[in-house]
A and B are shown apart, each in its own frame.
Chain A
Amino acid sequence: SQTIHQWPATLVQPVGSPLSLECTVEGTSNPNLYWYRQAAGRGLQLLFYSVGIGQISSEVPQNLSASRPQDRQFILSSKKLLLSDSGFYLCAWSVRGELFFGEGSRLTVL
């Protein structure tokens, strides 16, 4: 069966520090991969999606970036975090139209 792993689960970072959140999917090949952010009172916002290695589409201009170095690995990064980057980050994958989420990473920027 397919599983998705996302880490770290919780992160507290100072403003201006870098960020790296990682997500891996097991049990499937060539999935579509997504990064969402869920901020308090704002619902789920799609940040990036990828249909293959090295193929990244950005939905929202911001200081975040994403990379897909391997088929089942998706990384969310930032060189310098802002206070507004705080939130709950969710990695997701889809095959045949159904979306599955990881457990999320809670980021607090101080």
Chain B
Amino acid sequence: KQEVTQIPAALSVPEGENLVLNCSFTDSAIYNLQWFRQDPGKGLTSLLLIQSSQREQTSGRLNASLDKSSGRSTLYIAASQPGDSATYLCAVRADSSYKLIFGSGTRLLVRP
């Protein structure tokens, strides 16, 4: 059974810092991995999608990497800003499955 873990559960950093959020999964047979952002009381916004054949994806100040063999993905946020404050979730899709398994998220606070 696939399990997804995100560490740390919460993170507080000063503005301008580069930071890394971690996501680990127990079954390396994944179809893809997706990172989301959720603001309080809102739906999830898709940030990056990494296919199983890819090693990383980049969008602006965000870079996500995938290492299937070790069951890990990282989301790198460069030059963090207060507007980056949100909960970040990762989710994996197993092979031949319509289901995504979500981690419990990392709550990020970027202090001005």
Contact = CB atoms under 8 A, between A and B. Distances in A.
Contact of A44 (B32, B41, B89): B89
A106 B41 contact: yes
Contact of A97 (B41, B45, B51): B51
Interface residues of A, number: 23
B62 interface: no
Given A43-B102, A51-B98, A103 B46 contact: no
Q: Is the interface of B mostly helix, strand, loop or mixed?
A: strand
A93 to B, nearest CB: 11
A102 B43 contact: yes
Interface in A64-110: 88, 90, 92, 94, 97-104, 106
Nearest to B91: A99
A2 B36 CA distance: 18
B44 A90 contact: yes
B105 A46 contact: no
B91 A43 contact: no
Contacts, number: 48
Contacts of B44: 90, 92, 101
Contacts of B93: 97
B49 interface: yes
A44 B6 CA distance: 13
Contacts of A43: 102-105
Contact of B34 (A32, A34, A46, A99): A99
B49 A103 contact: no
A97 B42 contact: no
A101 B45 contact: yes
A60 to B, nearest CB: 12
Q: Which 3 A-B pairs have the closest CB atoms?
A: A101-B43, A101-B44, A44-B102
Interface of A: 6, 32, 34, 43-44, 46, 49, 51, 57, 59, 88, 90, 92, 94, 97-104, 106
